[in-house]
Structure 1
Amino acid sequence: MVLVRDPETDMPHARGVMLGELLKRKGEEGVAVRVMLWDDETSLPFIKNKGVMGVHDEDAFAYFKHTKVICKLCPRLHHKFPTLFAHHQKTITVDARARDSISEREIMSFVGGLDLCDGRYDTERHSLFHTLNTESHCFDFYQTNIAGASLRKGGPREPWHDAHACIVGQAALDVLTNFEQRWNKQCDGSVLVPISSIPNLMHQPFPSSVSNDRNWKVQVFRSIDHVSAIHLARNLRVERSIHEAYVEAIRRAERFIYIENQYFIGGCQLWDEDRHCGCTNLIPIEIALKVVNKIRAKERFAVYILMPMWPEGVPDSEPVQDILHWTRQTMAMMYKLVGEALQESGEPGHPRDYLNFFCLANREEENKGELVPPYSPHPSTQYWNAQKHRRFMVYVHSKLMIVDDAYMLIGSANVNQRSMDGRRDTEIAIGCYQPKNGENTRNPRDILAYRMSLWYEHTGLDEEIFLEPESLACAQRMRLVGEQMWNVYAGEEVVDMEGVHLVNYPLRVTKDGAVEDLVDGGGNFPDTKSPVKGRRSNMLPPIFTT
Structure 2
Amino acid sequence: MTEEHDTSPRAKAALPAILQPGRNCWRIARASRAALLPDAASYFARLAQAFQRARRSILIIGWDFDGRIRLCPTDQTCQPLGAMLRGLVEAKPELEVHILVWSFAVVHAPSAPSELLLNQDWEQHPRIHLKLDHEHPIYAAHHQKIVCIDDRLAFVGGIDLTVKRWDTWRHKARDRRRMDPEGDLYEPVHDMQMVVEGEAAEAVAAVARSRWQRAQGQEPPPVPTTERDELWPPGLEPHFVDAEVAVARTLPAWRTYPSVHEISALTLDAIAAARHCIYIEAQYFANFEVAELLERSLRQPTGPEVVVLMSRRLPGTLEQFIMGRNRDRVLRRLMRADRHGRFGGYYTCTPSATGDIDILIHAKLMIIDDRFLKVGSANINNRSVGLDTECDLAIEAHSDGERQSIATIRRQLLAGHLRVTPEQLRAATVEHGSTIRAIRALQAEGKGLRDFAGVDPNGRTGPVIGTALLDPREPIGARWRRFGRRQSESATLAPS
Fold conserved between structures, TM > 0.5: yes
Report what 2:132 is aligned to: 73
Matched, 1:37 2:98: no
Report what 1:48 is aligned to: none
- The equivalences for 1:114-129 within 5 A come to 114-129=159-174
Shift of 1:77: 2.1
| Larger Cα-atom Rg | 1
Partners of 2:142 and 2:189 lie apart in 1 by 21
> Residue 241 of structure 1 aligns to which amino acid in structure 2?
E
1:215–1:434 contact (8 Å) kept in structure 2: no
Question: 2:108 is paired with a residue of what secondary structure?
Answer: coil
- Change in CA separation of 1:34 and 1:331 when aligned onto 2, cut-off 3 Å: same
Shift of 1:23: 1.4
Partners of 2:243 and 2:255 lie apart in 1 by 29
Report what 1:361 is aligned to: 349
2:415–2:425 contact (8 Å) kept in structure 1: no
Shift of 1:73: 0.2
Partners of 1:213 and 1:138 lie apart in 2 by 33
- The equivalences for 1:308-457 within 5 A come to 308-313=311-316, 317-339=317-339, 349=340, 353-365=341-353, 389-420=354-385, 422=386, 424-437=387-400, 444-457=403-416
Partners of 2:432 and 2:371 lie apart in 1 by 17
Cα deviations across residues 400-437 of structure 1 (Å, max 9, x unaligned)?
Answer: 000011110100000000012x2x11100011033222
Shift of 1:242: 0.3
Partners of 1:65 and 1:263 lie apart in 2 by 34
Shift of 1:220: 0.2
- The equivalences for 1:84-233 within 5 A come to 84-95=139-150, 107-129=152-174, 131-132=175-176, 136-140=177-181, 151=184, 157-189=186-218, 192-196=220-224, 199-201=226-228, 214-227=241-254
2:329–2:459 contact (8 Å) kept in structure 1: no
Partners of 1:250 and 1:536 lie apart in 2 by 24
Shift of 1:543: 2.7
Shift of 1:185: 1.3
1:128–1:364 contact (8 Å) kept in structure 2: yes
Report what 1:524 is aligned to: none
Shift of 1:336: 2.7
Partners of 2:303 and 2:108 lie apart in 1 by 45
Question: 1:445 is paired with a residue of what secondary structure?
Answer: helix
> Residue 362 of structure 1 aligns to which amino acid in structure 2?
T
Question: 2:201 is paired with a residue of what secondary structure?
Answer: helix
Partners of 1:543 and 1:466 lie apart in 2 by 47
Bigger drift between 394-403 and 69-78 goes to 69-78
- Change in CA separation of 1:318 and 1:444 when aligned onto 2, cut-off 3 Å: closer
> Residue 399 of structure 1 aligns to which amino acid in structure 2?
K
Partners of 1:515 and 1:482 lie apart in 2 by 26
Partners of 2:361 and 2:371 lie apart in 1 by 23
> Residue 33 of structure 1 aligns to which amino acid in structure 2?
V
Cα deviations across residues 226-275 of structure 1 (Å, max 9, x unaligned)?
Answer: 52896xxxxxx1100001111111111111000001000122xxxxxxxx
1:266–1:415 contact (8 Å) kept in structure 2: yes
2:287–2:382 contact (8 Å) kept in structure 1: yes
- Change in CA separation of 1:503 and 1:5 when aligned onto 2, cut-off 3 Å: same
1:465–1:473 contact (8 Å) kept in structure 2: no
1:224–1:427 contact (8 Å) kept in structure 2: yes
Partners of 2:149 and 2:271 lie apart in 1 by 33
Shift of 1:508: 6.0
1:255–1:470 contact (8 Å) kept in structure 2: no
Partners of 1:473 and 1:451 lie apart in 2 by 14
> Residue 418 of structure 2 aligns to which amino acid in structure 1?
T
Cα deviations across residues 279-302 of structure 1 (Å, max 9, x unaligned)?
Answer: xxx222222223334x1xxx3531
> Residue 248 of structure 2 aligns to which amino acid in structure 1?
F
Matched, 1:53 2:81: no
- Change in CA separation of 1:33 and 1:292 when aligned onto 2, cut-off 3 Å: same
Cα deviations across residues 47-99 of structure 1 (Å, max 9, x unaligned)?
Answer: xxxx1333446513522543231111002521xxx2x221000000002xxxx
Shift of 1:184: 1.2
Question: 1:85 is paired with a residue of what secondary structure?
Answer: coil
1:507–1:516 contact (8 Å) kept in structure 2: no
Question: 1:194 is paired with a residue of what secondary structure?
Answer: coil
Among 277, 282, 293, the residue aligned to 1:286? 293
Report what 2:436 is aligned to: 475
1:263–1:416 contact (8 Å) kept in structure 2: yes
Partners of 1:427 and 1:470 lie apart in 2 by 40
1:256–1:469 contact (8 Å) kept in structure 2: no
When normalised by structure 2's length, the TM-score is 0.71
RMSD of Structure 2 on Structure 1 (CA): 3.1
Report what 1:302 is aligned to: 305
- Change in CA separation of 1:465 and 1:515 when aligned onto 2, cut-off 3 Å: farther
1:32–1:193 contact (8 Å) kept in structure 2: no
Partners of 1:306 and 1:228 lie apart in 2 by 37
Partners of 2:430 and 2:248 lie apart in 1 by 27
Cα deviations across residues 309-337 of structure 1 (Å, max 9, x unaligned)?
Answer: 12222xxx344133221111111222333
Matched, 1:505 2:431: no
Shift of 1:5: 2.8
How many percent identity over aligned positions? Answer: 21
Shift of 1:478: 0.9
- Change in CA separation of 1:302 and 1:472 when aligned onto 2, cut-off 3 Å: farther
When normalised by structure 1's length, the TM-score is 0.65
1:356–1:479 contact (8 Å) kept in structure 2: no
Report what 2:72 is aligned to: 4
- Change in CA separation of 1:429 and 1:391 when aligned onto 2, cut-off 3 Å: same
